[in-house]
Amino acid sequence: MSIRIIEMPHLGESVTEASIAVWLVAEGDKIEKYDPIAEAVSDKVTTEIPSNYSGIVKEFLIEVDTDVPIGTPIVKIETEEDGEDETVEVSADSEDVQEEKSEEFINHINKEIDKEAEEQPQERETKSDAKQSSEPKESSEKSSARYSPAVVRIAQERDIDLKQVEGTGKHGRITRKDVENFDVSSQSQPRAEKAPEQTESHTQSEQKPKSESRPSSPVSHTSAGDEIVPADGIRKAIAKKMVQSTTEIPHAWLMVEADVTNIVKLREKTKEQFKKQEGISLSFFPFFVKAVVQALKKHPIINTSWDNGNIVYHKDINMSIAVATDEHLFVPVIHNADHYSLSGLSKEISRLAGLARDGKLSSSDISGGTMTVNNTGSFGSVQSMGIINHPQAAILQVESINKRFLPTEDGGFKTADMVNLCLSIDHRIIDGLQAGRFLQDVKENLSKFTDESNLY
Amino acid sequence: MAMMTYLEAIRKGIEEEMARDEKVVIFGEDVGGVKGGVFGVTQGLAEKFGDDRCFNTPLTEGLIGGLAVGLGVTGYRAIGEFQFADYILPAVNQLISEASRMRYRTKGDWIAPIVYRAPYGGGVRGGLYHSQSTEKVLFGQPGLRIVTPSSPHDAKGLIKAAIRSDDPVLFYEHKRLYRLLKEDVSDEDYVVPLDKANVVREGDDITVIGYGMVLNHALKAAETLSKEGYEAEVVDVRSLYPLDKETLVKAAKKTGKVLLVTEDNLEGSIMSEISAIIAEDALFDLDAPIKRLAGPDSPSMPYSIALEREFLVDEEKVLNAMRELAEF
Amino acid sequence: MKKLKESGLTKEELIQAYKHVLLGRRLDERLWQLTRIGKTSFNISGQGHEVGQVAMAMAFQPEKDYFLPYYRDMTACMVWGMTAKDIMLGSLGKEDDPSSHGRQMPNHYGSKEHNIVSHSSTVSTQFPLATGVAYAAQLKKSDYVTLTATGEGSANQGEVQEAMNFAGVKKLPLIFVVENNGYAISVGTDEQYANETMAERGPAYGFPGIRVNGNDFAETYLAFKQVVEEARKGNGPALIELMVTRLTSHSADDDHSVYRTKEDLENMKKNDGLLLFEKQLIDEGYMTREEMTDIDAELKKEINKATDEAEAMPEPTADTILDQIYAD
């Protein structure tokens, strides 16, 4: 003796619920298998429900004229068969029934399938095991080395070295979100945009600190709270230029130190008078520009450009000078710098700096430069590695002037005003020897100034 | 607002349009009289609008296809019902050679404003010929539109738009959804555009694109996945042809991880075309291979429970595929 | 052969009928010439069908009746209202071609202006369409009658049976015509159907089926007149089997001397409806040979003019390839 449950049967395609219109048997009736027990109604059909079992009708489980999902238990039958009683599971509350009915229908079918599965589980499991053990192996080998198109594109746009990105995807794969969320400023060194052979010539710079003139890379959005400020047009132009310079020009660096004690004396002596007379301050910078210009006359190889396999020797000496404002770096040009006296250079430098600060530089003011002198000393730097101002072949960084003890020939000491001059050269055009000789001349020119030298 | 099943929403849409425009007529096998279709979609329409405007045809699908075109060229808005999408095949010549080309081959002199309705989809123990997703047979026939709603709201708005359209529109109704879905549907006279996909759920981890029953699976699976920390963008293709490329590509680009789900078998399904479109237009936003989830490449959905279940893309399969892609 | 007098038509009407027949013949001859010199790519003709077609068409009221022709019905289309220039524009594929604006091959007729519904090349698809056009007459409570035609080979398509069956059920005001010239391209009727006649298929669907000699003008006209009247009164459809002769190869791409015997080809010339009609007109005193020669000369001028004018018309521009695929 056991209890069996009859469920609301599947009444046709698309029918998901039905009701009992009338019970054709009464509780306690003895019935045979296939005897009709009720009349069921759906919006598609009206039909008699036959019993699945022979036995006694024990209990009606649903009310007449109440829609229930297909598969809902409707009646308990006590049969002669041995076995465990079937029980009625508590179904979801009626509010959810509409939503859930498909699942119940599926569950109904699934029960049947599960029965089958229990009978022949072995083969299936083996199959799926084999599948799982072989697949991930293969993909783990692939995923670490391969990047999706989106990842590659974003990495290029943001200048991200993918080796520095931690992948959160399957088997450590770097996902699009990983690169989108990568903090570029945390990157040990920005990567060049260009092809690998150009990055090769760039490796030297990785050993040294970033130049102050180097623009910071665009900020990539990172964790919550970070502010994202799009770069303005000037900053973007600087960035572009810098990238071009560092990727196209193989840089080499030299540094010499020069004794400028006499220049310091000369300036001390003349600055007040000069200010009175000319209305501008006399800085050290024009002395260096003058010395460089004079040296360029003797070393035309420095006043050149690399142009697609040719070396262009520039006739004019147009000296670019770096002028920093609070936000940006400008590089206006002293055209025909060799035509100016010291005071003339002073005035021209002052004029260009003023225009730069007021944002009034014209395009002719900033074009045509053939070499750059950068007054890094003005903010206290003692050593730096300048990035050449493309397409020029050299940049000279004039560092800060500091008093130092120097041994004298008689075995004593003297104080001297010393300055470091850091030269970056385009190694395609200029070799170390040529650069060294040029620097020696600059040094000598500086030393030629006396406290009696004429500013005009 | 009224609580309505997907089926009732379709019926309501047809009823509103028949009341609105006396040129709207509906016919098919068992469509007229008191039966109102084997699924009951047209129940009550013959009584309400007369046996001339809602009538039975013999069991001749080619005739249903051509009758609609003939009514179309003479100024009527014909709704031809194919009892099952599987039975469209005898009418394919009329749908492709006549309905979809009438406007083009006369440069607009003659037009065929028609709605061909057809219940499609499986999971109803319908076997090989009551379960198929035959939309791909008629997909890619310029001149013909194919749409399918995936909710009662869309069902009403879309059937109304299809009836009003001057184009021949193949209106696919998922028979599993007929009585499964129920929601509040507006009593307003609204239409749903025939050429727009619908972003049903927003998310930024993966994009799931589908329609019909599997779309509803995807929506449920998305909620499960959300608890695991992944948010799925779910897009209802809705306009199966022509496809709303813009919406589909945009959704694909949004996450870069695309799962295309169809109840049809894999090869040559509509998802194959969507996959090609995304590959063409969104490559550099893709973060994973475009993934398709579909039925096996057996000729159709078999009858036996075990085989039918094997064929069907169910919620679990959708969830697993979504999770796999999210974790990729 | 019935006396022309029995037709009840006036002398003027009979001379007009003759002009239609001769225009059909001469225009078709011109189309062959244009094909042979490469100005058009194709021609398929109704030479040998002209008398039957004119008698058929004259039994209708083209200003309100609809015609769904097949590719040999050029002469009937011209009775319905199309001009030699209209036909020429179609064969040359010009923008102003009223049939398809240069989109369909030659000999696919249509004219919105003259109620001639465009047809495809997949033979007999116009039959189910015609039921729609005819059903629309019932819906509109209009008394127009619809005519549709096909060849005896194409009449074996399933859609023809579906259409005739439905027309019988709904008692549609629809006249079906099978123009029987004995050849389905190269295959004779003994391989096409086992019935004694095509006409007997009418009663099988519950309406009259009549076989007429299409070379006998009066017999054909009277048979059509009767069935058209019945249809107009609401007494349902009819099938007419029009026995005609195919004087040319199937089309410009065919050579019938390959599959027709010499005897057949010789006999064929004796059954040229044009010659028989001319003899009848002269014998029965309606026209003289001289009058016929004059008409021929006039028609030649008309055809020359139509050819020149049509040739001078512009082609569709390439940028219109995507026009009128969908309603906008």
Can you give the pLDDT at residue B14? 98
Q: What are the backbone dihedrals phi and psi of residue A224, each rounded to the nearest 5 degrees, phi first?
A: -55, 145
Q: Is the pLDDT of residue A231 over 90?
A: no
**Cβ contact, residue pair A44, B39, below 8 Å:** yes
C–A contact: 3+ Cβ pairs < 8 A? no
Q: What is the pLDDT of residue A197?
A: 41
pLDDT at A145: 62
In angstroms, what separates the C-alpha of B124 from chain A's closest C-alpha? Answer: 5
- pLDDT, one tens digit per residue, over A304-360 is 999 888 899 999 999 999 888 877 788 899 999 999 998 899 999 999 988 888 878
Evaluate the omega torsion of the peptide bond into residue A391 and state whether it is cis, within 30 degrees of 0: yes
What length is written for chain A? 456
Least confident of A360-364, B184-188, B200-204, B284-288: A360-364
Whether the per-residue pLDDT at B84 is higher than 80: the answer is yes
Query: Of all residues in chain A, what percent carry a pLDDT higher than 90?
Result: 41
pLDDT for the residue numbered C228: 98
Q: How close is the nearest chain B Cα to the Cα of C112, in Å?
A: 6
**Helices (DSSP H) in C37-156: which residue ranges?**
50-58, 74-80, 84-91, 126-140
Burial A263-282 (b: 16+ CB within 10 A, else e): bbebbeebeeebeeeeebeb
Between A231-245, B138-152, B163-177, B294-308, the lowest mean confidence (pLDDT) is in: A231-245
Estimate to the nearest angstrom the gap between the alpha carbon of B62 and the chain centroid. 21
Between A235 and A159, name the one with better pLDDT. A159
Residue A130 predicted with pLDDT over 50: no
Confidence check: pLDDT of A139 > 70: no
The answer, for B33 touching chain C at a CB cutoff of 8 Å, is no
Q: Where are the domains of chain C?
A: 4-310
Nearest-CA distance B38 → chain A (Å)? 8
Kindly state the average pLDDT of the residues B197-201. Answer: 98
Q: Is A22 on the interface with B (CB under 8 A)?
A: no
- Arithmetic mean of pLDDT over chain A: 80
Q: Render pLDDT for A264-281 as a digit per residue (tens, 0 to 9).
A: 999 988 888 888 888 888
User: Given pLDDT bands bounded at 50, 70 and 90, which one contains residue A237?
Assistant: confident
- Verify whether the Cβ–Cβ distance B305 to A113 is below 8 Å: yes
Statement: residue A383 has pLDDT above 60 = yes
Please state whether beta strands A36-41 and A17-23 pair in parallel, antiparallel, or not at all (unpaired). Answer: antiparallel
Instruction: Mark which residues 240-299 of B lie under 8 Å from A by CB.
Output: 255-257, 283-288
Read off the tokens for A11. 């009444």
> Which residues does chain B have within 8 Å of residue A150's beta carbon, measured at their own beta carbons?
256, 284-287
Q: Please give the CATH topology (third level) of the domain spanning B198-327.
A: Rossmann fold (3.40.50)
Residue C285 has pLDDT above 70, yes or no: yes
Residue A219 has pLDDT above 80, yes or no: no
User: Is some CB atom of chain A closer than 8 A to the CB atom of B187?
Assistant: no
The Cα B156–Cα B152 span in angstroms is 6
Catalytic residue, candidates A226, A427, A441, A451 = A427
The answer for residues whose C-beta is within 8 angstroms of residue C243's C-beta and 6 or more apart is C52, C180, C211, C212, C213, C214, C215
Shortest CA distance from C142: residue in chain B: B74
Give the chain B residue nearest C316 (alpha carbons). Answer: B107
Which tens digit of pLDDT belongs to each residue from B209-222?
Answer: 999 999 999 999 99
Q: Do A98 and B126 touch (CB under 8 A)?
A: no
Which of A122-136, A395-409, A417-431 is the least confident region?
A: A122-136
**Which chains would you list as touching C if contact means 3+ CB atom pairs under 8 Å?**
B
Dihedrals φ, ψ of B242, to 5°?
-65, 150
Catalytic residue among A171, A431, A441, A451: A431
Contacts of B103 in chain C (CB under 8 A): 324-327
Give the rounded distance of the alpha carbon of A311 from its chain centre.
37
**Range name among A402-411, C83-92, C167-176, C289-298 with the lowest pLDDT average:** A402-411
* Total count of residues recorded for chain C: 328
Q: At CB < 8 Å, which residues of chain C contact B?
A: 66, 98-101, 103-104, 108, 110, 112, 117-118, 120, 122, 125, 127-136, 138-140, 158-159, 162-163, 165-166, 169, 320, 323-327
CB atoms within 10 A of CB A286: 24
**A175 vs B119, B178, B287: nearest CB:** B287
pLDDT at A244: 86
- Decide if B309 and A98 are in contact by the 8 Å CB cutoff: no
Q: Are there at least 3 beta-carbon pairs closer than 8 Å between B and C?
A: yes
pLDDT at A45 over 80: no
Question: Which amino acid is it at A313?
Answer: Y
d(CA B222, CA B232) in angstroms, rounded, equals 6
Domain with CATH 3.40.50.920 in chain B: 198-327
* The pLDDT value given to residue A216: 43
- Asked whether the beta carbons of residue B106 and residue C120 sit closer than 8 angstroms, the reply is no
B130 is catalytic: yes
* Cβ pairs bridging A and B (under 8 Å): 69
Mean pLDDT of A291-309: 92
* Intervals of CATH 3.40.50.970 along chain B: 2-185
Q: Which residues of B touch A102 (CB under 8 A)?
A: 176, 180
Query: What interface predicted TM-score (ipTM) does this complex get?
Result: 0.96
Domains of chain A: 2-119 (2.40.50.100), 145-233 (4.10.320.10), 234-448 (3.30.559.10)
Say if the Cβ atoms of B94 and C159 lie within 8 Å: yes
Compare CB distances from B256 to A16, A98, A150 and report the shortest one's residue: A150
Q: Do C110 and B106 touch (CB under 8 A)?
A: yes
Amino acid at A104: E
Active site residue A431: yes
CB contact under 8 A, B143 and C325: yes
Residue to test with chain C: of B29, B59, B63, most C Cβ within 10 A? B63
Q: Chain C contact for B87, CB < 8 A?
A: no
DSSP state of C111: B
What's the pLDDT band for A195 if we cut at 50, 70, 90? very low
Task: List all residues of chain A from 94 to 113 with a beta carbon under 8 Å from chain B.
Answer: 98, 101-102, 106, 109-110, 112-113
| Contact list, B76 vs chain C (CB under 8 Å) | 132, 136, 139
CA distance C96 to chain B (A): 10
Measure CB to CB from residue B58 to each of C135, C138, C165 and give the nearest one: C165
pLDDT band at A46 (very low <50, low <70, confident <90, very high): confident
Q: How far is CA B190 from the centre of its chain?
A: 19
Distance CA B74, CA B296 (A): 44
C-alpha neighbours within 13 Å on the C-beta side of residue A60: 16
Lowest mean pLDDT among A234-238, C89-93, C165-169, C228-232: A234-238
Q: Is the dihedral of CA A221, A227, A232, A234 positive or negative?
A: negative
Are the beta carbons of B109 and C112 separated by less than 8 Å? yes
> Judged by CB atoms within 8 Å, which residues 261-300 of B form the interface with C?
none
**CATH number for domain C4-310, candidates 3.40.50.970, 3.30.479.10, 1.10.260.40, 3.40.50.740:** 3.40.50.970
pLDDT for A89: 60
CB contact at 8 A, C170 and B83: no
Cβ–Cβ of B180/A101 closer than 8 Å? yes
Between residues A89 and C271, the one the model is more confident about: C271
Determine contact, residues C104/C111, Cβ cutoff 8 Å: no
Question: Could you tell me if B328 lies within 8 Å of chain A, comparing CB atoms?
Answer: yes
Phi, psi at residue B212, to the nearest 5°? 75, -145
How many residue pairs from chains B and C have C-beta atoms closer than 8 A?
137
**Residue A129: which pLDDT band, with cuts at 50, 70 and 90?**
very low
Q: In B, which residues are within 8 Å of A44 by CB distance?
A: 38-40
- pLDDT above 60: residue C130: yes
Q: Tell me, what's the pLDDT at A133? A: 41
Instruction: Check whether B307 has a pLDDT greater than 50.
Output: yes
At residue A310's C-alpha, the angle toward residues A309 and A315, to 5°, is: 155
Judged by CB atoms closer than 8 Å, whether chains meet at C129 and B66 is answered as yes
The CATH code that applies to domain B2-185 is: 3.40.50.970
Residue A175, chain B, CB below 8 Å: the answer is yes
Q: Does B176 contact A at CB distance below 8 Å?
A: yes
Query: Neighbouring chains of B at 3+ CB pairs within 8 Å?
Result: A, C
- CB–CB of A14 and B176 under 8 A? yes
pLDDT band at A33 (very low <50, low <70, confident <90, very high): confident
Q: What confidence score (pLDDT) does residue A412 get?
A: 87
Average pLDDT over residues C184-202: 94
pTM of the predicted structure, to 2 decimals? 0.71
- For the residues C109-134, what does the mean pLDDT come to? 97
pLDDT at B26 exceeding the cut of 90: yes
A-contacting chains (≥3 CB pairs under 8 Å): B
HSE-CB of C253 using CA atoms within 13 angstroms: 5
The 3-class SS string of chain A reads CEEEEEECCCCCCCCCEEEEEEECCCCCCEECCCCEEEEEECCCCEEEEECCCCEEEEEECCCECCCEECCCEEEEEEECCCCCCCCCCCCCCHHHHHHHHHHHHHHHHHHHHHHHHHHCHHHHHHHHHHHHHHHHHHHHHHHHHCCCHHHHHHHHHHCCCHHHCCCCCHHHCCCHHHHHCCCHHHCCCCCCCCCHHHHHCCHHHHCCCCCCCCCCCCCCCCCCCCCCCCCCHHHHHHHHHHHHHHHHCCEEEEEEEEECHHHHHHHHHHHHHHHHHHCCCCCCHHHHHHHHHHHHHHCHHHCEEEECCEEEECCCCCEEECEECCCCEECCEECCHHHCCHHHHHHHHHHHHHHHHHCCCCHHHHCCCCEEEECHHHHCCCCCCCCCCCCCCEEEEECCCEEEEEECCCCCEEEEEEEEEEEEEECCCCCHHHHHHHHHHHHHHHHHCCCCCCCC
